[in-house]
Amino acid sequence: MTSIRLKPAYLNLYPEFALACRRDAWCINHGNTTGFDEQQTRVWLDTLAREQPQGLLYLWHHDSPIGQLELAPAMARMDGSLGGYIYLLYLVPQWRGRGLGRWLLEQALQQIRAAGSTSAGLRYLPTNLAAEPFCLRQGWRKEGPVDEQGQLLVKDLIPLMPTTRYANANAT
């Protein structure tokens, strides 16, 4: 994968690529572009690029962007721990089915781990028929019911400590 690189997205240089990725992802999830809000998407991309400098990345093959990754590597949880979240994992159609999705997902998880997060989350809509089997094969698990935002999947990033059972000293 020496010709494949993941680099920060510079919206001022390739703004239409980010928008096209989001538009196609919407179409995959909803079956068409009805309801896709270009202005709201531009605001989201600008906000993500500003607030999470490593949260908006392009996947490059030589001199062409071929994918997009959007994530928050570390967000504080109610219990004080950190969790990462993947907003979008996207490859242009001609690059799908070549193993790059797994590679891109692993790159996202490496960034999330490096930020100190102990788990990661993402959501998919059940209408995206490829998402569920792909994620489950990568070790993600469903959490909670499907709602208007889709199905939440989570992945623990550090192994849980094995439970040690001690014999009760008072047992007879």
pLDDT digits (tens, 9 = 90+) for 15-38: 899 999 999 999 999 999 999 999
* Cα atoms found within 13 Å of the Cα of residue 56, Cβ hemisphere only: 22
Domain locations in the chain as residue ranges: 4-156
* pLDDT score for 120: 97
| Displacement of CA 52 from its chain's centroid (Å) | 14
> Tens of pLDDT along 112-162?
999 999 999 999 999 999 999 999 999 999 999 999 999 999 999 975 555
* pLDDT score for 147: 94
Q: Which fold has domain 4-156?
A: Aminopeptidase (3.40.630)
* pLDDT score for 165: 55
Banded model confidence at residue 172, pLDDT cuts 50, 70, 90: very low
Exposed (0-12), middle (13-18) or buried (19+): which is 113, by Cβ within 10 Å?
middle
Q: Is-above-0.85 flag for pTM?
A: yes
Residue 70 in tokens: 């959007």
Closest CA to 132 of 113, 150, 158: 150
Residue 58 in tokens: 């392009």
Banded model confidence at residue 11, pLDDT cuts 50, 70, 90: confident
90 CB neighbour count, 10 Å cutoff = 22
Work out the mean pLDDT of the chain and round it to a whole number: 90
pLDDT over 90 percentage in the chain: 78
* Range 70-88 average pLDDT: 94
* Range 70-86 average pLDDT: 94
